[in-house]
Structure formats: structure tokens, C-alpha cells
């Protein structure tokens, strides 16, 4: 089990460790990393994570849903420019060109679902989704499309998840169980562990224990 990270820097170190273990465990897996902090700036987080991963045995392509995001990332991190792409740029290539690369896709949104699913289906290696928000894509579409998207989202295993709650925090660091922390007067205390992500009722019950 892990202690709750004291700050974003500590959380990023845990993300790095979790990704190395996750991709080693499942080199062709679909992995999700989520840090649910309000106001979190995703661009600098993604660039830091990419640079740190370059120092390990992992050399991921940093992939943005849109060309504008990819261009801004190249401008902000010219040393990573040849490791930055957009989803459409990759879809235009032969998948064999990047088959040996792990892909780190930054913040795909509901509007990116179709091209993101295409990329996921074409890519032969590991694919990591950083702070994606695909679940909302079900709003305003038919039941068949909703079910298809739900199945797609359910395929992604959680490499790292950190979610502040009103009275605590929920965390998962692969390969450990989900951990529920309660905020007490003297700090955060782990109160429950779960094999699967707990439902809202389970979280409330755990915080009341």
C-alpha cells in the first residue's frame, strides 16, 4: 500500500513508477492515468512526465488530440519536438512506423472520441491516456453508441488514479488495490481498500467507518 502523496511533485513520482510497472506488466495494454485536481495545468504536467519517462527505458510519443496542442507542446519543449504528435498525424501514417512506441495521449475529450478510438484500435503497443474525459461522450447520442463508448472506456486499466473527495481522497497505484483515505483532524488516514473502484455508496460508508 502507498501513502497519500503530499503534493503534485510526489504524485508525479508515483505516476512515473506506476507507468513503468504497468507497461512492463502489459506491454500492449491500455492504461489510464488521472489526477483529478481542479485547475491542474495539463500541458506542463504532460511535458514533465514525458521528459521523466525519457530517462527510463520508456520513450513514449506524446500525443495531443489536436494539431494546435501538439504545436504548442513542440514550442514549449523543443527538445521533445520529435517525440510529439497529434492523433490525426499518427492516423495518417502506417501503424508500423510507430508500432514499437508507447503512446501517451494527453487529455482526450468527448469530441475526440472517434479519432481516439481509431488510434487505439490501430496501435500495436502500449497506450496511456492522461486525464482523459471520454465518459461524457455518452450525452446526446443513441443507446448503441453509448454502449459502444462505455465498452471502450471500460477497457482501460487504471495505472494511477488520485481523486480528492470532500472528506478524504481515493487513490489507486498499479498493481495495488484502490485505497480510500479519510481526512481526520490530524491528517489523512487510510480507512479501506478495494479490489475494484468503489461506488459512491461504498466510499461514503468507508468514510463514515
| pLDDT tens per residue across span 175-189 | 999 999 999 999 999
Q: In the prediction, which pLDDT does 38 show?
A: 85
Q: Sign of torsion, CA 173 176 182 187? A: negative
Pairing of strands 187-194, 178-184: antiparallel
Q: In the prediction, which pLDDT does 85 show?
A: 97
Matching residue, cell 510497472? 21
Q: In the prediction, which pLDDT does 137 show?
A: 47
DSSP 140-202: TS-HHHHHHHHHHHHT-EEEEEEEEETTEEEEEETTSPEEEEEEETTEEEEEEEESSPPPHHH
| pLDDT tens per residue across span 118-172 | 999 999 899 999 999 887 644 566 777 778 888 888 889 999 999 999 999 999 9
Grouping H, G, I as helix, E, B as strand and the rest as coil, residue 103 is strand
Contacting residues for 117 by C-beta, under 8 A, at least 6 apart:
152
| pLDDT tens per residue across span 9-52 | 999 999 999 999 999 999 999 999 999 988 899 999 999 999 99
| pLDDT tens per residue across span 91-105 | 999 999 998 899 999
Q: Sign of torsion, CA 196 197 199 205? A: positive
Q: What are the structural domains of the chain?
A: 18-159 (3.40.50)
The rounded percent of the chain whose pLDDT value lies above 70 is: 97
Q: In the prediction, which pLDDT does 64 show?
A: 97
Q: Sign of torsion, CA 157 159 165 169? A: positive
Amino acid at each position: 500500500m502507498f501513502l497519500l502523496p503530499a503534493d503534485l511533485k510526489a504524485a508525479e513520482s508515483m505516476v512515473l513508477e506506476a507507468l513503468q510497472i504497468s507497461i512492463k506488466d502489459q506491454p500492449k495494454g491500455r492504461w489510464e492515468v488521472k489526477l483529478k485536481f481542479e485547475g491542474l495545468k495539463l500541458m506542463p504536467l504532460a511535458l514533465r512526465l514525458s521528459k521523466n519517462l525519457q530517462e527510463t527505458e520508456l520513450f513514449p510519443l506524446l500525443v495531443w488530440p489536436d494539431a494546435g496542442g501538439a504545436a504548442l507542446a513542440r514550442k514549449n519543449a523543443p527538445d521533445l519536438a520529435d517525440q510529439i504528435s497529434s492523433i490525426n498525424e499518427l492516423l495518417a501514417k502506417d501503424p508500423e512506423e510507430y508500432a514499437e512506441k508507447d503512446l501517451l495521449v494527453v487529455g482526450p475529450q468527448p469530441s475526440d472520441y472517434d479519432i481516439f478510438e481509431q488510434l487505439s484500435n490501430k496501435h500495436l503497443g502500449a497506450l496511456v491516456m492522461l486525464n482523459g474525459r471520454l465518459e461524457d461522450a455518452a450525452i446526446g447520442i443513441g443507446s448503441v453508441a453509448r454502449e459502444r463508448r462505455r465498452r471502450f472506456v471500460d477497457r482501460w486499466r487504471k495505472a494511477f488514479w488520485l481523486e480528492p473527495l470532500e472528506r478524504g481522497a481515493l487513490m489507486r497505484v498499479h498493481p495495488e488495490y484502490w485505497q480510500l483515505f479519510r481526512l481526520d483532524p490530524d491528517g489523512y488516514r487510510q480507512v479501506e481498500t478495494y479490489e475494484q473502484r468503489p461506488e459512491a455508496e461504498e466510499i461514503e460508508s468507508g468514510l463514515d467507518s
